[in-house]
Amino acid sequence: MVGTGGPVASFSVWDYVVFAATILGAAGIGLFQAIRGRKETTSDEFLLGGRQMTAVPVAMSLTASFMSGITVIGTPAEAYRFGAAFWLFGFAYAIMSTVTAELFVPLFYRLGITSAYEYLEMRFSRPIRIIGTSMYIVQTALYTGLVIYAPALALNQITGLNLWGVLVATGAVCILYCTLGGLKAVIWTDVLQMVVMLAGFVAVIARGAVLQGGLTKVWEDAGEGGRLKAFDFDPDPRKRHSFWTIVIGGSIMWVSIYSINQSQVQRYISCKTLGHAKMSLYVNMVGLWVTVSLAMVTGLTMYSIYKTCDPLTNSDVTTSDQLLPYLVMDILAVYPGIPGLFVAAAYSGTLSTVSSSINALVAVTMEDFIIPLWENRTQKQVTWLNMGLSIFFGGLCIGMAGVASLMGGVLQAALSIFGMISGPLLGLYLLGMFFHTPNSISFWNDHRTNLPTNKPHNPSTLDHVRPLLADSWYSLSYLYFSALGAVVTIVSGLVISIATGGCKQEKLHPDLFVKKSDMFCFRGYNTSEASYTGEKEGIDNKAFTELQSEIISKDMTTKL
């Protein structure tokens, strides 16, 4: 009987058919894009879709890359265990989308960059660009390995789906369409995967509502169980989730992810006009609202079904990540193929994240490491190298999934440390975008300033000796880590730059800074031309090319 606990069914033949059809569909899109664009084999076409993408597919791709398999499985579990507070991230998504669209997109678009870290060289120095790129590569490889492995393990333990077979198949499919189709294939495949993910949530909600007697009953059960208490205005920064930690800390955390993360930057700078680029972020905001809302309702539906028979308490599952797969096999196994749809939804999240990572890793490797050192190159050589790097990074991500299976909690601790880098890195970009005084010396001091935050726990330390700060700074909500890192970087960067002669450096080119005219402006600015259509605000194509080479060759300082 549904909702009473105990063993659940395993995958049926039809479930495998639906799952396989989804994977093959993703591969088919990659092949289609490869055949369609076989005459357009430039690096710009491969990495940025020829900078001719439109707002809606890019927006869906941005949303899909956010919805990893971990998120598909983990967000409903969050609602099941802790309630609807996670819904408040809707405010954070709105703030993140506005800040990214109005501050970062016009700047990156104007400079015509391919790698987000090109800006660090233009504004500061090449060593800082290399450091930023290196941190991104290591962080992304580790994270992608976990994204592949964690949902696969949870689904394997509940559905019986072969773990390593699916891991290798996932990696192989991503390698196929990333290698053959480039960014266009990634974006259009994300569109398909986004639809499949939403369909998976809808299937669970619909079946659960039927079993419980309607969504009204689900809502009543959630209210009686205290799962609808979302607005907690306690200002204590140590609370894991409150209105303030989510709206303030969560907003800054997501700004650091969307504004300077290559996986996201690469998508919106692929749009054919500035208006399309900005609009993609606002449409993405709506997509995030819809996706998170469906995930939360799925979690509340799960609570309504298991409110008197918790699978965790009954040891039917061992971790919270297994809750949703357990529910799916419990309530949907009577409909052959539907559990396969849900698993396809979870793996669509994985595919979108992995393909995004592969494409972004290829872009930063080419733009930040190889092309600056490889002058006598042909377009054919660059194309083959792009494809080779796609295969290499795809294999690396599969390998990191294997590392994740061996390291477990150690890897997650390492990912927490890497996650804390995003705050200081965001602070570095904001320093460069808004202030003229910061120089490259700031980075080294800011880096050292933030190191103590990342100090690992020493098992040999006497655990009964509790530090005085254990109930204050060490207990800070994880959502404030990025905010703290950004603020410390900005404040210390300004002080150190002034002390080291930042005020005396030559005047920097105005296109390296945020302009008032960028705000809430959707005029036609085409990345393929790298210039505004308006004479007053823009520079012509030749001047822009000279600007890029002049900035880099003269250590990022050029006289007006």
Please, are residues 302 and 211 in contact by the beta-carbon 8 Å criterion?
no
Question: Which has the minimum average pLDDT: 104-118, 136-150, 312-326?
Answer: 136-150
- How far apart (Å, rounded) are the C-alpha atoms in residues 148 and 441? 38
**Which residues fall within 8 angstroms of residue 170, CB to CB, at 6 or more apart?**
23, 148, 152, 347, 350, 351, 354
Whether residue 292 contacts residue 71, with contact meaning beta carbons closer than 8 Å, is answered with no
Distance CA 201, CA 299 (A): 10
Provide the 3-class DSSP secondary structure of residue 337: coil
Which pair of tokens denotes residue 462?
Answer: 């006497």
Phi, psi of 461 (to 5 degrees): -70, 145
pLDDT surpasses 80 at 320? yes
> Mean pLDDT in the chain?
79
More confident residue, 22 or 262: 262
User: pLDDT value at position 104?
Assistant: 95
Type and span of the H or E element at 226: none
Residue 493 has pLDDT above 80, yes or no: yes
Check residue 448 and give its pLDDT: 46
Could you give the CA distance from residue 186 to residue 189 in angstroms, rounded to a whole number?
5
**Number of neighbours of residue 316 by Cβ within 10 angstroms:** 19
Q: Which residues pair with 531 in a beta bridge?
A: 526
Residue ranges of the alpha helices (H) in 312-421?
323-331, 338-365, 379-407, 409-419
Q: State the residue for tokens 């730059």.
A: 497
39 or 183, greater pLDDT: 183
C-alpha 224/C-alpha 458 separation (Å) is 43
Two tokens at 478? 């994880």
Looking at residue 107, its pLDDT comes to: 93
Domains of the chain with CATH codes: 13-410 (1.20.1730.10)
Tokens of 287: 């997509």
Q: What integer pLDDT is reported at residue 407 of this predicted model? A: 60
Residue with tokens 């198949």: 169
The whole-number pLDDT of residue 393 equals: 92
**55-65 residue pLDDT tens:** 999 998 888 87
pLDDT above 70: residue 471 = no
Query: Which is more confident, 34 or 276?
Result: 276
pLDDT at residue 539 tops 50: no
CA angle 163, 164, 170 (to 5 degrees): 95
The dihedral built from the CA positions of residue 95, 99, 105 and 106, taken in this order, carries a sign that is positive
pLDDT for 412 beyond 50? no
pLDDT at 443: 60
pLDDT: is 11 or 467 the higher one?
11
Q: What is the mean pLDDT of residues 414-429?
A: 72
Quote the tokens at residue 87. Answer: 């819904």
CA angle 266, 269, 270 (to 5 degrees): 80
- Could you tell me whether strands 531-532 and 525-526 are parallel, antiparallel, or unpaired per DSSP bridges? antiparallel
Could you report the per-residue pLDDT of 303-317, keeping only the tens digit for each?
999 999 899 998 888
The band of 548, judged by pLDDT with boundaries at 50, 70 and 90, is: low
Question: Is 446 or 366 the better-scoring residue by pLDDT?
Answer: 366
Q: Which of 173-177, 238-242, 251-255 shows the highest mean pLDDT?
A: 251-255
In this prediction, residue 260 carries a pLDDT of 92
Residue 363 clears pLDDT 50, i.e. is over it: yes
What phi and psi, each to the nearest 5 degrees, are found at residue 526? Answer: -105, 125
Q: Residue 533 above 50 pLDDT?
A: no
Looking at residue 130, what is its pLDDT? Answer: 92
* Residue 105's pLDDT band (cuts 50, 70, 90): very high
* Gap between the Cα atoms of 549 and 279, Å rounded: 30
Whole-number percent of the chain with pLDDT over 70: 79
Phi, then psi, of 310 in degrees rounded to 5? -70, 120
Three-state secondary structure string covering 147-194:
HHHHHHHHHHHHHCCCHHHHHHHHHHHHHHHHHHHHHHHHHHHHHHHH
* pLDDT over threshold 80, residue 519: no
pLDDT at position 209? 94
Pull the structure tokens for residue 149: 């492995």
> Comparing 287 with 478, which gets the higher pLDDT?
287
What pLDDT is recorded for position 125?
Answer: 87
pLDDT tens column, 184-236: 878 888 888 788 888 889 999 999 999 999 999 999 999 999 999 888 899 88
Q: Which residues pair with 271 in a beta bridge?
A: 53
**pLDDT for the residue numbered 413:** 45
Contact 17, 493 (CB under 8 A): no
Asked if pLDDT for residue 410 goes beyond 50, the answer is no
Return the pLDDT at 5: 66
